[in-house]
Amino acid sequence: MYTPTTVNKQCYFCSQNTGYIDYKDTNTLKRFFSLQSKIYKPQKTGICASHQRRLALAIKRARYMALVPYTHLHTK
Protein backbone atom coordinates (compact mmCIF):
# COMPACT_ATOMS: atom_id res chain seq x y z
CA MET A 1 0.00 0.00 0.00
CA TYR A 2 1.41 3.37 -1.08
CA THR A 3 1.09 6.37 1.19
CA PRO A 4 2.41 9.66 -0.13
CA THR A 5 4.69 11.56 2.21
CA THR A 6 4.00 15.02 0.81
CA VAL A 7 0.75 16.28 -0.58
CA ASN A 8 0.86 19.30 -2.85
CA LYS A 9 -2.07 21.50 -1.93
CA GLN A 10 -3.08 24.32 -4.18
CA CYS A 11 -4.04 27.66 -2.73
CA TYR A 12 -7.82 27.97 -2.38
CA PHE A 13 -7.85 31.63 -3.38
CA CYS A 14 -5.48 31.16 -6.34
CA SER A 15 -7.63 28.33 -7.69
CA GLN A 16 -10.79 30.45 -7.28
CA ASN A 17 -8.99 33.40 -8.94
CA THR A 18 -9.95 35.66 -6.03
CA GLY A 19 -8.39 39.09 -6.10
CA TYR A 20 -9.81 40.32 -2.79
CA ILE A 21 -10.59 38.35 0.36
CA ASP A 22 -13.78 39.86 1.74
CA TYR A 23 -13.95 40.11 5.52
CA LYS A 24 -17.77 40.08 5.33
CA ASP A 25 -17.81 36.58 3.79
CA THR A 26 -17.77 34.69 7.10
CA ASN A 27 -18.50 31.28 5.57
CA THR A 28 -15.25 31.39 3.63
CA LEU A 29 -13.29 32.75 6.59
CA LYS A 30 -14.55 30.01 8.94
CA ARG A 31 -12.79 27.40 6.81
CA PHE A 32 -9.44 28.83 7.86
CA PHE A 33 -9.65 29.01 11.66
CA SER A 34 -10.28 26.41 14.33
CA LEU A 35 -13.13 26.01 16.79
CA GLN A 36 -11.05 27.99 19.29
CA SER A 37 -10.80 30.75 16.66
CA LYS A 38 -7.10 30.26 15.99
CA ILE A 39 -5.96 30.92 12.43
CA TYR A 40 -4.65 27.76 10.79
CA LYS A 41 -1.07 27.63 9.53
CA PRO A 42 -0.57 27.83 5.77
CA GLN A 43 0.99 24.35 5.80
CA LYS A 44 -2.32 22.91 6.98
CA THR A 45 -4.58 24.86 4.64
CA GLY A 46 -2.27 25.02 1.61
CA ILE A 47 -2.61 28.77 1.13
CA CYS A 48 0.22 30.70 -0.49
CA ALA A 49 2.08 33.36 1.52
CA SER A 50 0.46 36.41 -0.04
CA HIS A 51 -3.05 35.07 0.45
CA GLN A 52 -2.21 33.98 4.02
CA ARG A 53 -1.33 37.58 4.88
CA ARG A 54 -4.54 38.86 3.28
CA LEU A 55 -6.58 36.15 4.99
CA ALA A 56 -5.14 37.02 8.41
CA LEU A 57 -5.99 40.68 7.84
CA ALA A 58 -9.55 39.80 6.74
CA ILE A 59 -10.10 37.59 9.81
CA LYS A 60 -8.80 40.33 12.09
CA ARG A 61 -11.14 42.87 10.47
CA ALA A 62 -14.08 40.48 10.81
CA ARG A 63 -13.25 39.97 14.48
CA TYR A 64 -13.11 43.72 15.05
CA MET A 65 -16.50 44.14 13.36
CA ALA A 66 -17.88 41.24 15.49
CA LEU A 67 -18.70 39.08 12.47
CA VAL A 68 -16.63 36.19 13.81
CA PRO A 69 -15.73 35.59 17.47
CA TYR A 70 -12.34 36.28 19.03
CA THR A 71 -12.50 33.05 21.04
CA HIS A 72 -14.87 30.12 21.37
CA LEU A 73 -16.16 31.64 24.62
CA HIS A 74 -17.64 34.61 22.76
CA THR A 75 -20.07 32.48 20.77
CA LYS A 76 -22.60 32.14 23.61
H/E stretch holding 49 reads: helix 49-64
Say which CATH topology domain 22-75 has: 30s Ribosomal Protein S18 (4.10.640)
The reported pLDDT for the residue numbered 66 is: 92
4: alpha, beta or left, given left = phi > 0 and alpha = psi -120 to 50? beta
Q: What is the DSSP letter of 73?
A: G
pLDDT (tens digit per residue) in 16-75? 998 899 999 999 999 999 988 899 999 899 999 999 999 999 999 999 999 998 887 766
Contact 33, 39 (CB under 8 A): yes
Q: Report yes or no: 64 and 28 within 8 Å, Cβ to Cβ.
A: no
Q: Structure pTM?
A: 0.82
Domains in the chain: boundaries: 22-75
Name the 3-class secondary structure at 74.
helix
